[in-house]
Structure 1
């Protein structure tokens, strides 16, 4: 419901609400990420884990909130679309902007490439397998041919894999000897700022989802595509700011680690959590898998670029932006019916 039902439900008002909610997500995520970054430095976490775990989970909170609210509103396809669309945006656009913003080439490391990137590929494959199991064993009677019900036991599969990811990160933390922070943060204040950021994001995402749902209904935009384009772009703003800022500060590991860690969290935690809340959700395999195929291709391209000389050049950054432009053009073609790859859309 837009602004608690106070404002009229019109396209102009919906667009205004989406813009204001996106700005609020931007501000709230900035509070959350700054406090998470300072707290992780205070507790002595290594740079890769700061980016791939602490900052990534913080910057993923808008996506997590979008899945929860879309699941509760009965438009879970929009939430899945937001996650997948945000993941594609994160993989192609954010590293590209960080690479362009950095002074010279954006440096990476073997740890980032061989642990974070490859584990993320496993996360994508696990989500595809989970959806496939839903279609095979829990098909929807009378629904689309390739629609299946994802239940709580199936949602546990990606969550268990994320548990393994946390175990690996914990092992890395236990082996790390951290330097003392340059300045001692006010720990209670940072925790309070983090909580305030979470609250702002929750309220803003609820309004964002309501605005997108109303706008999509007005113009006949499928829920999945609305999530891929509008919700995904809005919830990806925090990740973009964090990665570009850290790249300018010559912290390539944190910048890229945020991207990969955020996507891993989105796929393995955010989507399953929506299932755990509502119990059972329906996923159209014919819509989800082509999008996940695009995500897999984008991940392979980024992996190849990062592995080449363990850096991301300006030329490679512009190539990633071009690929995202092609993806947006394809999504627009699907929305107007010019192409029909998404059979269930």
Structure 2
């Protein structure tokens, strides 16, 4: 229902709501980015920490909400699929669009390549190991052969790794020597940050609700919608924030947002859903192929980032082509043309 049933649930109304929600996300992400930039300058945070922590955590709230809601509703696998699909979208599409926005030459640095990107690879591996431990030590009775229960102790593993990530970022802040401007209205900027987050959350909820309604109207399968449409919808704040940063010549902040957002989604959003509901089933046969694609996408981006420490126009086009191939594969899985994902 849209606005509690105040508006008719028709395709035309849903399209209008999607357009309005997109506009709200545009404004909300603008407030989020500007306030984060001013606050980071005030507190003397490096650009990479600004992107990977301050902006990334804020723009990841929609993914966090989706996991918590699906875990509470007993459809945790759909939430995990949306998170992984969002991560693949972030890795392949957002850097490509940011590269285009920066005139086909998105600058990066060694910190992004050798700290953020490599730590993100560790995050992916840690979540796969956590899922494997769930299958080994907490199998689902009478469930699929590779289904396990994620418990609170298992959920603590990725959370502890994120604690290490925060510690590393804290050390970087301590090593960073920056001038802190005195004319930043701190209270006002924190207020803009909170308002920006609230606008993004409300808008994304409307966006996802309308997309879900259109999915039912046109008969789009749940799995296909989860890893593509819903994933792209919840990634819209990350996309707008990263593109804005790239257009402003802040390639490091743009890429830091992408990698930091994905790290937060994998190490915090998924475990937090488990902590709230106690246990959540996960199908290893569905999760591993998706994580395999995510790993390949991450390796592709890592290769491009390390080559001359920039993303060129040709590399951006290659990333978009890779995402197109991913969507084509998911469609093929949905219609039964391929069967690499067991149990989807």
Provide TM-score, normalisation by structure 1.
Answer: 0.92
Most deviating of 195-204 and 208-217: 208-217
Shift of 1:75: 2.5
CA contact (8 A) 2:208 2:233 kept: no
CA distance 1:222–1:131, change in 2 (3 Å): farther
Distance 1:240 1:10 in 2: 28
Distance 1:277 1:221 in 2: 30
Match of 1:176 in 2: 176
Distance 2:177 2:24 in 1: 37
Match of 2:106 in 1: 106
CA contact (8 A) 2:37 2:50 kept: yes
Distance 1:211 1:205 in 2: 10
Distance 1:26 1:286 in 2: 37
RMSD: 2.2
Match of 1:283 in 2: 282
Shift of 1:272: 0.9
CA distance 1:104–1:216, change in 2 (3 Å): closer
Match of 1:79 in 2: 79
What SS class does the counterpart of residue 340 from structure 2 fall into? coil
Distance 2:242 2:320 in 1: 15
CA contact (8 A) 1:75 1:223 kept: no
Shift of 1:308: 1.4
Shift of 1:16: 5.1
User: Where does 1:1-345 land on structure 2 (aligned, <5 Å)?
Assistant: 2-7=2-7, 17-103=17-103, 105-181=105-181, 184-216=183-215, 221-345=220-344
CA contact (8 A) 2:104 2:316 kept: no
Q: Give aligned pairs, total.
A: 344
Stretches of structure 1 lacking an aligned partner (at least 5 in a row):
none
Most deviating of 309-318 and 126-135: 309-318
Provide TM-score, normalisation by structure 2.
Answer: 0.92
Shift of 1:205: 3.8
CA contact (8 A) 2:131 2:284 kept: yes
Shift of 1:322: 0.7
CA contact (8 A) 1:131 1:283 kept: yes
What SS class does the counterpart of residue 149 from structure 2 fall into? strand
Distance 1:258 1:30 in 2: 14
CA contact (8 A) 2:29 2:241 kept: no
CA distance 1:173–1:150, change in 2 (3 Å): same
CA contact (8 A) 1:47 1:254 kept: yes
Most deviating of 92-101 and 103-112: 103-112
Distance 1:143 1:11 in 2: 37
Distance 1:294 1:97 in 2: 20
Most deviating of 29-38 and 43-52: 29-38
